[in-house]
Each structure stands twice: as C-alpha cells, then as structure tokens.
Amino acid sequence: MQTSGRTQTQPAMTLLYPRAEIARRVEALAREIERDYAGRELLLVGILKGSFLFIADLVRALTLPADVDFVRIASYGSDTRSSGIVEFRKDLEMPIRGRHVLIVEDIVDSGYTLEALCNLLLLRDPASLRVCTLVDKRALRATEVSVDYVGFTLDQGFIVGYGLDYDERFRGLPDIYLVKTDA
C-alpha cells in the first residue's frame, strides 16, 4: 500500500468491538445524556479528526436539541503514543458562554489533550462542561481528567477504526480493531 510517498504494510489487527456492539453503546450513551440534560439544549463539541463518526452517530441517536461544533487538537503525530505536546489547530466557531457543553472524544488515554481543551473551554464560562468518550484507556493516563460518559474501557493497546486512526489510516473501518504494535 502506498501512502504519502512511502510503502506501508497492513499491520496485524484483531477485531475488538464489532459495529453492532458500537451501535448499542452509542444508543445507551445517548439515553444517559438525554436523562442528564432533559429540558436543556446541548452543544456537542467534537474533537477532530477521530470523533467524527462517533459524534455523527451520537447526535442522530439523541432526541434532545443539540448543536454541533468542532475543535482540532493534535498530540500524536504519526506515533502510537501521545507526545504530551498539545497543539490547537482549529477553534470553535460558536460561542459557549452560558451553554451546556459536552465534549465528544474518540479516545481518552494520556489525558493531555482533554485536560488542555477543558481548561480552555472553562475560561469561556459555559453553564456546564462534561466529557463523553467512546473509549476510555486508563493504562497510560498521565493526568487526572474527568470523563462523564464512557462507551468502552480498554486497559491497554492501540486501536483503529470507527474514526480512530494510525498515521491517518484505518479511520473508515466500521468496526474497532486492536493493532499489534512493536511498542
């Protein structure tokens, strides 16, 4: 396979979360969120690029009024572990002052990205700020961040599919796979 001028081979992958199981968890998360935000409007803030499939399915599963906006933050580059350096590449387009904000993340592992985003958004005075993640991976957690809604927990391993990538590859897989890495 040719990508960005370099030849890459397909890594060894094992099915971890099939699409039907992902769909069930997204529906369950939507019900939890609706219960907690009943009677209120919500602003979902997706973290690009990884959350785009998750947030799309989540907003379709919600029955309460919800707007969607995105930020783009990077801390991985082309590695399988966070560099610890958080780079903001795209800011919100909507104001959040006085709004109920739910950050939607694909995976929380080191916590650096989420901590930096929460700190930034709290300075903008939202009515509330909570976090929803598809996958909570605590093994490499380097900072304490609060995650309010969790689809799946994962002890360790690197995963791809359903928006999650490895060096920009495998985002479009409908299932989530565990990738065998040398690290």
What is the identity of the amino acid at 62? L
Angle, vertex CA 160, rays to CA 52 and CA 183, nearest 5? 135
> What is the Cα–Cα distance from 99 to 90, expressed in whole angstroms?
20
- Any catalytic annotation for residue 106? no
Structure tokens at 35: 């219960």
Provide CB contacts within 8 A for 106, sequence distance 6+. Answer: 47, 50, 51, 54, 133, 134, 135, 162, 163, 164
CA end-to-end span of the chain: 22
Exactly one of 57, 109, 136, 165 is catalytic; name it.
Answer: 109
Q: Please list the active-site residues.
A: 109
